[in-house]
């Protein structure tokens, strides 16, 4: 009795085998009937391409065809993975004003293999790449400095980035072709410069962050990120200063207080004193913050008042430490009004020039603090003080000059105000 064309009736005394052509094996001489037993491993038969697959559950059962979904899944195992494509890059190509301390992200069309080759950054900085699903993320240890042109090369081809499917199948799933993305970091914040200079004692303020989250000075990348985007906070004057100084301050905008503070920091750090916060100054500032290296000189300010009787007043850390009579320039050689940072200091020096009558002078002076060209606060012996007598300088008696010299450091601001002779 035949079943479904695949089996033939077993004859008594025969021990059948299933041959490749379906024929019954030769007679063996065995007696009696035996039930047909098929294991799962021996019962499955797969015919050539396009022919249904038949399986058996038990002797005499009907074949169960595989579903189209199962067949497609089986075929997919042998097919190359779908090519990988790049969806986005952060920062985007051509971006300007980028925060150089922020993470860099490259998103793709499929999850990435854990061992995929990673993009390359130029200039090189320390940090690490990680796979987060379909995104490669670079977290810098210390990011890029201001105004840096950054190039990101994303590898493609046989040695390029690969998806999880490509890695498991062993073929396909590659990014092709590779690509190059470029962007430029921004400039550091003037507001953050003022915050850091205040924290280090080079400006006459206490700065307090508005957020309860405090940036750790030891976290170099967090400090760098804040240099691009200053945190919110408030400045409070340390002590009492005259309006001649306070009126010139504006948070977030460059002003003469900044220039004086930068010069003071450059002096302490043995840098060229130009009053400009360039790359070297910022590098040293962030290092000083990390190491807690505050201004060793404190904050000093001097005001030369040309109203009669003329005086010089010096503040240090918010308190008046000196007030003395002074002489300023005569008509034709006036001491010009304005605010200037001290840029040169001598315990003793010779001053050379021409007197109003045409004669030359070569005068020895002491405790000189140059603040505007050839004008300086210094000692000079006179019979009296408090009026227009100098050739442009602010002249002081000996004891007062010595005291002023001890407080006025490089970068200390000197304001001249009042009627010019």
Which tens digit of pLDDT belongs to each residue from 311-328? 999 999 999 999 999 999
Residue 326 CA to residue 310 CA, distance in Å, equals: 5
Residue 341 CA to residue 416 CA, distance in Å, equals: 12
**Of 161, 184, 207, which marks where a domain is finished?**
184
Same domain, residue pair 218 and 137? no
Same domain, residue pair 230 and 180? no
**Of 162, 184, 206, which marks where a domain is finished?**
184
pLDDT at 407 over 70: yes
Q: Angle at CA 223, nearest 5°, toward 221 and 228?
A: 95
pLDDT at 170: 85
Confidence bin at 169 (pLDDT 50/70/90)? confident
Q: Would you say residue 22 lies in a domain?
A: no
Look at residues 316, 320, 371, 317 and name the one whose alpha carbon lies nearest to residue 346.
371
Same domain, residue pair 242 and 137? no
pLDDT at 60 over 80: no
Q: Would you say residue 166 lies in a domain?
A: yes
Look at residues 255, 254, 195 and name the one whose alpha carbon lies nearest to residue 227.
195
106 is written with which tokens?
A: 């490259």
Looking at the DSSP bridge assignments, the partners of residue 369 are: 345, 377
Same domain, residue pair 56 and 99? no
Same domain, residue pair 286 and 312? no
**Of 245, 270, 291, which marks where a domain is finished?**
291
Helix, strand, or coil (residue 72)? helix
Q: How far apart are the first and last CA of the chain?
A: 135
Dmax over CA atoms of the chain, in Å, equals 149
Confidence bin at 212 (pLDDT 50/70/90)? confident
Q: What is the mean pLDDT of residues 148-174?
A: 94
- The separation between CA 144 and the C-alpha centre of its own chain, rounded to angstroms, equals 5
Q: What is the mean pLDDT of residues 285-298?
A: 96
Q: Would you say residue 17 lies in a domain?
A: no
86 backbone dihedrals φ, ψ, rounded to 5°: -90, 130
User: In total, how many domains does the chain have?
Assistant: 4
Q: Would you say residue 244 lies in a domain?
A: yes
Which has the minimum average pLDDT: 17-21, 279-283, 343-347? 17-21
Same domain, residue pair 70 and 117? no
Residue 348 CA to residue 364 CA, distance in Å, equals: 7
Residue 168 CA to residue 181 CA, distance in Å, equals: 29
Look at residues 194, 226, 190, 218 and name the one whose alpha carbon lies nearest to residue 207.
194
Look at residues 318, 301, 420 and name the one whose alpha carbon lies nearest to residue 371.
301
Same domain, residue pair 306 and 409? yes
Residue with tokens 């169960």: 64
Q: Would you say residue 212 lies in a domain?
A: yes
Same domain, residue pair 127 and 180? yes
Average pLDDT across the chain, whole number: 87
Same domain, residue pair 412 and 305? yes
140 backbone dihedrals φ, ψ, rounded to 5°: -75, 145
Contacts of 369 (CB under 8 A, 6+ apart): 342, 344, 345, 376, 377, 378, 404, 405, 408, 412, 414
Same domain, residue pair 305 and 384? yes
Q: Are 100 and 145 in contact (CB under 8 A)?
A: yes
pLDDT at 92 over 70: yes
Domain, as residue range, for 218: 190-291
Same domain, residue pair 60 and 96? no
CATH number at residue 366: 2.40.440.10
Looking at the DSSP bridge assignments, the partners of residue 205 are: 237
Residue with tokens 């301390």: 101
Look at residues 178, 189, 180, 210 and name the one whose alpha carbon lies nearest to residue 100.
189
Q: Would you say residue 159 lies in a domain?
A: yes
Q: Would you say residue 164 lies in a domain?
A: yes
Which has the minimum average pLDDT: 6-10, 11-15, 251-255? 6-10
pLDDT at 71: 58
What distances in angstroms separate CA 124 from CA 90, 150, 220, one per listed residue? 17, 9, 17
Confidence bin at 78 (pLDDT 50/70/90)? low
Contacts of 201 (CB under 8 A, 6+ apart): 294, 295, 298, 299
**Residue 298 burial by Cβ neighbours in a 10 Å radius (0-12, 13-18, 19+):** middle
Same domain, residue pair 226 and 275? yes
CATH number at residue 94: 2.60.40.1220
Q: Would you say residue 13 lies in a domain?
A: no
């Amino acid at each position: 009795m035949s079943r479904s064309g695949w089996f033939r009736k077993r004859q008594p005394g025969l021990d059948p085998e299933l041959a490749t052509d379906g024929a019954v094996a030769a007679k063996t001489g065995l007696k009696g009937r035996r039930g047909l037993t098929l294991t799962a491993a021996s019962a499955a038969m797969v015919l050539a391409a396009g022919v249904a697959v038949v399986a058996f559950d038990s002797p005499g059962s009907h074949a169960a065809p595989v579903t189209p979904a199962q067949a497609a899944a089986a075929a997919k195992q042998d097919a190359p993975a779908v090519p990988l494509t790049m969806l986005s890059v952060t920062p985007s190509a051509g971006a300007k004003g980028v925060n150089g301390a922020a993470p860099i992200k490259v998103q793709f069309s499929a999850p990435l293999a854990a061992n995929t080759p990673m993009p390359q950054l130029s200039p090189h900085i320390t940090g690490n790449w990680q796979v987060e699903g379909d995104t490669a993320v670079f977290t810098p240890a210390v990011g890029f400095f201001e105004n840096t042109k950054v190039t990101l090369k994303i590898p493609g081809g046989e040695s390029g980035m690969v998806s999880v499917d490509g890695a498991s199948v062993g073929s396909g799933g590659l990014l092709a072709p590779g690509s190059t993305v470029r962007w430029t970091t921004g400039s550091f914040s003037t507001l953050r410069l003022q915050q850091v200079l205040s924290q280090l004692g080079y400006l006459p303020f206490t700065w307090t962050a508005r957020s309860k989250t405090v940036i750790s000075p030891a976290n170099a990348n967090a400090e760098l990120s804040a240099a691009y985007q200053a945190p919110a906070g408030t400045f409070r004057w340390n002590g009492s200063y005259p309006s001649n100084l306070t009126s010139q301050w504006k948070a977030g905008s460059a002003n003469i207080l900044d220039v004086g503070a930068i010069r003071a920091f450059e002096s302490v750090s043995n840098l060229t004193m130009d009053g400009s916060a360039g790359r070297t100054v910022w590098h040293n500032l962030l290092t000083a913050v990390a190491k807690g290296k505050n201004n060793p000189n404190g904050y000093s300010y001097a005001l030369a008042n040309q109203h009669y009787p003329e005086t010089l007043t010096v503040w240090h850390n918010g308190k008046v430490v000196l007030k003395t009579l002074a002489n300023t320039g005569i008509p034709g050689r006036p001491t010009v009004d304005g605010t200037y940072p001290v840029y040169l200091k001598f315990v003793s020096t010779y001053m050379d020039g021409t007197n109003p009558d045409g004669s030359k002078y070569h005068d020895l002076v002491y405790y000189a603090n140059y603040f505007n060209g050839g004008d300086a606060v210094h000692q000079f012996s006179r019979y009296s003080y408090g009026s227009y007598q100098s050739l442009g300088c602010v002249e002081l008696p000996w004891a007062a000059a010595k005291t002023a010299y001890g407080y006025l450091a490089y970068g200390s601001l000197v304001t001249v105000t009042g009627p010019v002779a």
